């Protein structure tokens, strides 16, 4: 865990608690952490779940991997160290959304279990890991950004699933085979978990 460099700082408690915010919203806050290979459907599923939640009057926000790199993490590349820092930042931002009783949905490869574990430790009671399971062959056949093709051609290195590892979740709260299941059934599986976990009303 990264320690603060700043000194003479103090954590200030807020008058409006997370419980008060949840009461106002009519549901709890949580982080749905979508993880999987590039092309596994993380962003697609996260946005589809967000739309379904919105239709159910649930407050949501999607933290997409590419979008975050336009702002919060625009000074980071894709080295191991930068990937770790990127996920650390996202974990902190996701916790703030959860504290506000917003269901936030993060869509990042986040290839290392240790990094995902750190994000979980920040909010152990409101962290929902959603594993978008799809064989690399399926992801490569989709290749929405042409990245697999570039990695195979040696134009980019350190690409997850080709020449860099992806550590699949051991016991995610939700596992969806996005290479086989339809987007509708995948969304249903996530929503069913949120109801069962009493994060959102049924």
Confidence of residue 201 (pLDDT cuts 50, 70, 90): very high
| Each residue's pLDDT tens digit, 14-58 | 899 999 999 999 999 999 999 999 999 999 999 999 999 999 999
On whether the pTM is more than 0.85, the answer is yes
Please tell me the CATH superfamily of domain 27-196, with its number.
P-loop containing nucleotide triphosphate hydrolases (3.40.50.300)
Percent with pLDDT over 90 in the chain: 69
164 sits in which H/E element = none
Helix (DSSP H) and strand (DSSP E) numbers for the chain: 8, 5
Do residues 183 and 45 make contact, with C-beta atoms less than 8 angstroms apart?
A: yes
Q: What is the mean pLDDT of the chain?
A: 92
Q: Active-site residue 110, yes or no?
A: yes
Among 29, 45, 46, smallest CA distance to 127 is for: 29
Specify the pLDDT at position 4.
67
Q: Is the pLDDT of residue 61 over 90?
A: yes
40 sits in which H/E element = none
Specify the pLDDT at position 126.
97
Q: How many CB atoms lie within 10 A of CB 165?
A: 9
Marked catalytic residue, from 40, 43, 110, 126? 110
Say how far residue 170 (Cα) sits from the centre of its chain.
16
């Amino acid at each position: 865990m990264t320690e603060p460099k700043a000194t003479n700082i103090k954590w200030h408690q807020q008058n409006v608690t997370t419980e008060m915010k949840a009461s106002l919203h009519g549901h709890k806050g949580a982080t749905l952490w979508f993880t999987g290979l590039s092309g596994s459907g993380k962003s697609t599923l996260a946005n589809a779940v967000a739309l379904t939640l919105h239709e159910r009057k649930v407050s949501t926000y999607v933290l997409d991997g590419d979008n975050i790199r336009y702002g919060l993490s625009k000074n980071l590349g894709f080295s191991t160290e930068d990937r770790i820092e990127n996920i650390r930042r996202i974990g902190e931002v996701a916790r703030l959304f959860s504290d506000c009783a917003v269901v936030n949905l993060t869509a990042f490869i986040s290839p290392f279990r240790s990094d995902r574990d750190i994000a979980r430790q920040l909010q152990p009671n409101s962290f929902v890991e959603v594993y978008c399971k799809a064989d690399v062959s399926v992801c490569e056949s989709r290749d929405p950004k042409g990245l697999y093709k570039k990695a195979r051609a040696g134009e980019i290195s350190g690409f997850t699933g080709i020449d860099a590892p992806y550590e699949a979740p051991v016991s995610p709260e939700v596992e969806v085979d996005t290479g086989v299941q339809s987007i509708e059934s995948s969304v249903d599986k996530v929503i069913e978990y949120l109801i069962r976990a009493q994060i959102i009303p049924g």
